[in-house]
């Protein structure tokens, strides 16, 4: 179907008259009207929208791929049709907002025709026609270097252009507020939760959902992350797996695309502590030291980590501990879907693998990135059913330094001393050091939050959902590259 009477509007105020055509299931074409000598437009196979402009200074063919479009939205009052368009300028570069605006002439009949056409295009930008989606958004003004509100404006502007998305915003005023709200949310009135903060608030949201009587249903609400904190491992892991850059618009774009993926969660037990849920990581030794000890340098933003890392490398304190995890023998009678065993009880019948040693690094992780610049477990997909244990035992300062320096690129996995083990559950029993001097640095960091330096057990529990996922095609690419 051709749409006639469309005028493409440019930022300088000029317009070009174009005809627009949706070629079903494949592409949309914008063609300059009265272009008599055009011998027919040849569309590349993956081209979804082509725009041919007569003006020399405009590109003659402009291609808007479906993968870069979030929809075509008609404003009946102004008779404007907006293509919400966020292309990448370079293949692996960040997305930029470059909407294409058409002014439609003609009466109500023409607008009706355009509206149906736009709905068709929007449907093709997503897996199915977009249905109304209500997001609950938590913005933490105290996270990272205090820029979360400004970052949210970028995402909000994008979501506002898509009439099927509505947002209820909560600017948090205290710690644990997101947890408390998530524990009370009506599951029926919320299609997704968006966190504009760091991983600490994502942890709070999953804990709020998991604490409910109807946790099984509540955890079906997908959770998305716009990086507003300092570490932002969750956002980075989602974006990297989807082939997106690490950025605010990129994260908002992926959320608006509306795809979801499963996430493994762990029930966490410790003596005399209320149950918790972990979505990201557990660390001890130098890593917990850096994560928690660097809190006092929060005013440095992301820089607090490298600065404190240097201090910890000069004064390393290994963790002496025992770790138990189920062997992957297929004959194992162990049923991990049953409730976790009490910590003061022996482990259920195994077989279990046991490791006792001095760990210079002990880091359990549920996804590929442990922070936006820490590629701890390259290729580790969310929802794979396993956590990875990254270990470095009895390492000298040299090896430890190489390990820490390799984390950004993931090259630490190439060190002979690095061990990356897969496990579906584990119990960790730390030994306290006799010296008082080290006790202040005997810490565990669970999803970036301090928990007592006591035995701790992580056991699979009903999983969560992530708002934002690779498209089927990109998922295939990721799987192929593993
Ligand atoms: N208005 C507020 N004032 C003070 N603290 C808040 C407020 N709102 C939320 N918080 C708390 O701020 C803490 C830090 O947030 P969060 O962990 O998300 O950011 P971050 O520490 O900067 O990032 P990351 O965890 O990725 O390093 C959370 O524990 C949260 O409960």
Contacts with 158 (C-beta within 8 Å, 6 or more apart), sequence order? 70, 84, 86, 97, 249, 252, 253, 256
User: Which residue puts its alpha carbon closest to atom 30 of ligand 1?
Assistant: 175
CA distance 153 to 28: 31
The lowest-confidence range among 172-176, 260-264, 315-319, 446-450 is 315-319
Q: Which of 125, 158, 183 is the last residue of a domain?
A: 125
In this structure, what CATH number is given to the domain that contains residue 68?
A: 2.30.29.30
Say how many Å lie between the CA of residue 372 and the centre of ligand 1.
Answer: 16
Bigger pLDDT: 300 or 221? 221
Work out the burial of residue 286: count CB atoms within 10 Å of its CB; fewer than 13 is exposed, 13-18 middle, 19 or more buried. buried
- Nearest atom within ligand 1 for CA of residue 140: 8
Is it the case that residue 332 has pLDDT exceeding 80? no
The lowest-confidence range among 5-9, 224-228, 323-327 is 5-9
How far CA 7 is from CA of 77, 85, 108, 153, 172, in Å, comes to 16, 17, 17, 29, 44
Bigger pLDDT: 419 or 105? 419
| Closest of 176, 221, 239, 232 to residue 462, by C-alpha | 221
- Nearest atom within ligand 1 for CA of residue 141: 1
Local structure of 83: helix, strand or coil: strand
Pocket test for ligand 1, best of 142, 194, 290 (most atoms within 8 A of CB): 142
Say how many Å lie between the CA of residue 158 and the centre of ligand 1.
Answer: 24
Average pLDDT score over the chain: 85
The lowest-confidence range among 50-59, 429-438, 457-466 is 50-59
Take residue 25 and report the two structure tokens written for it. Answer: 């299931």
Percentage of the residues of the chain whose pLDDT score is greater than 70: 83
Q: Which of 65, 95, 125 is the last residue of a domain?
A: 125
> Same domain for 421 and 290?
yes
> Same domain for 472 and 454?
no
| pLDDT (0 to 100) of residue 444 | 95
Say how many Å lie between the CA of residue 299 and the centre of ligand 1.
Answer: 13
For residues 424-436, average pLDDT: 81
Take residue 383 and report the two structure tokens written for it. Answer: 């929802």
> Same domain for 363 and 292?
yes
For 30, phi then psi, to 5°, come to -110, 125
Torsion of CA 141, 145, 148, 149, to 10 degrees: 70
Say how many Å lie between the CA of residue 429 and the centre of ligand 1.
Answer: 29
> Same domain for 304 and 451?
yes
> Same domain for 152 and 277?
no
Say how many Å lie between the CA of residue 251 and the centre of ligand 1.
Answer: 19
Pocket test for ligand 1, best of 200, 229, 235, 294 (most atoms within 8 A of CB): 200
Take residue 289 and report the two structure tokens written for it. Answer: 């030291």
> Same domain for 474 and 349?
no
Q: Which of 125, 142, 158 is the last residue of a domain?
A: 125
> Same domain for 294 and 353?
yes
> Same domain for 60 and 167?
no
> Same domain for 332 and 377?
yes
> Same domain for 48 and 111?
yes
Say how many Å lie between the CA of residue 387 and the centre of ligand 1.
Answer: 25
> Domains in the chain: how many in total?
3
The range of the structural domain enclosing residue 29 comes to: 2-125
In this structure, what CATH number is given to the domain that contains residue 215?
A: 3.40.50.10330
ipTM: 0.96
| pLDDT (0 to 100) of residue 113 | 85
CA distance 454 to 344: 12
For residues 244-259, average pLDDT: 97
Is it the case that residue 467 has pLDDT exceeding 80? yes
> Same domain for 257 and 282?
no
Is it the case that residue 171 has pLDDT exceeding 60? yes
- Nearest atom within ligand 1 for CA of residue 195: 18
- Nearest atom within ligand 1 for CA of residue 200: 17
The answer to whether the peptide bond before residue 351 is cis (omega within 30 degrees of 0) is yes
How far CA 141 is from CA of 27, 121, 171, 363, in Å, comes to 42, 37, 7, 29
Percentage of the residues of the chain whose pLDDT score is greater than 90: 58
User: Which residue puts its alpha carbon closest to atom 24 of ligand 1?
Assistant: 198
In this structure, what CATH number is given to the domain that contains residue 434?
A: 2.60.200.40
- 86-109 exposure pattern, b = at least 16 Cβ within 10 A, e = fewer: bebeeeeebbeeebbbbebeeeee
Enumerate residues lining ligand 1, CB below 6 A: 140-144, 172-177, 197-201, 204, 229-232, 448
> Same domain for 209 and 329?
no
Say how many Å lie between the CA of residue 142 and the centre of ligand 1.
Answer: 6
Is it the case that residue 58 has pLDDT exceeding 60? no
């Amino acid at each position: 179907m051709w749409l006639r009477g469309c005028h493409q509007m440019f930022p300088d105020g000029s317009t070009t008259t174009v005809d627009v055509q949706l070629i079903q299931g494949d592409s949309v074409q914008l063609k300059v009207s009265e272009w008599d000598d055009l011998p027919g437009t040849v569309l590349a196979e993956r081209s979804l929208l082509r725009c041919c402009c007569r003006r020399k200074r405009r590109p003659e063919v402009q291609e808007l791929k479906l993968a870069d479009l979030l929809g075509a939205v008609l404003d009946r009052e102004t008779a404007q049709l907006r293509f919400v368009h966020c292309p990448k300028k370079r293949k692996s570069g960040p997305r930029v907002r470059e909407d294409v605006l058409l002014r439609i002439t003609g009466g109500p009949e023409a607008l009706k025709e355009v509206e149906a056409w736009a709905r068709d295009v929007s449907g093709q930008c997503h897996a199915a026609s977009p249905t109304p989606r209500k997001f609950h958004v938590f913005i933490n003004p105290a996270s990272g270097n205090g820029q979360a509100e400004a970052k949210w404006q970028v995402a909000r502007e994008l979501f506002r252009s898509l009439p099927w998305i509505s947002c209820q915003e909560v600017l948090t005023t205290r710690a644990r507020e997101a947890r408390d709200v998530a524990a009370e949310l009506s599951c029926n009135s919320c299609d997704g939760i968006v966190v504009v903060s760091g991983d600490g608030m994502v942890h709070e949201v999953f804990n709020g959902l998991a604490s409910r009587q109807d946790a099984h249903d509540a955890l079906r609400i997908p959770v998305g992350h716009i990086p507003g904190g300092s570490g932002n491992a969750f956002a980075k892991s989602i974006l990297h797996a989807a082939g997106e850059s690490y950025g605010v618009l990129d994260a908002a774009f992926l959320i608006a695309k509306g795809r979801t993926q499963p996430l493994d969660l762990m029930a966490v037990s410790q003596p005399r502590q209320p149950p918790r849920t972990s979505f990201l990581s557990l660390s001890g030794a130098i890593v917990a030291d850096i994560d928690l000890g660097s809190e006092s340098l929060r005013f440095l933003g992301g820089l607090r980590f490298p600065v404190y890392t240097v201090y910890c490398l000069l004064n390393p304190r290994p963790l002496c501990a025992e770790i138990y995890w189920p062997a992957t023998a297929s004959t194992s009678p162990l049923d991990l879907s049953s409730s976790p065993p009490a910590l003061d009880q022996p482990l259920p019948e195994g077989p279990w693998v046991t490791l006792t040693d001095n760990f210079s690094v002990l880091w359990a992780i549920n996804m590929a990135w442990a922070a936006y610049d820490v590629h701890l477990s390259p290729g580790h997909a969310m929802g794979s059913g396993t956590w990875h244990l990254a270990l470095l035992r009895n390492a000298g300062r040299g090896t430890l330094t190489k390990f820490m320096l390799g984390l950004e690129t993931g090259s630490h996995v190439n060190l002979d001393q690095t061990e990356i083990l897969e496990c579906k559950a584990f119990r960790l029993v730390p030994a306290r050091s006799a010296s008082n001097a080290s006790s202040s640095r005997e810490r565990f960091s669970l999803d970036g939050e301090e928990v007592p330096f006591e035995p701790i057990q992580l056991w699979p529990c009903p999983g969560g959902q992530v708002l934002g996922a690779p498209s089927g095609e990109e998922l295939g690419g990721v799987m192929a590259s593993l």
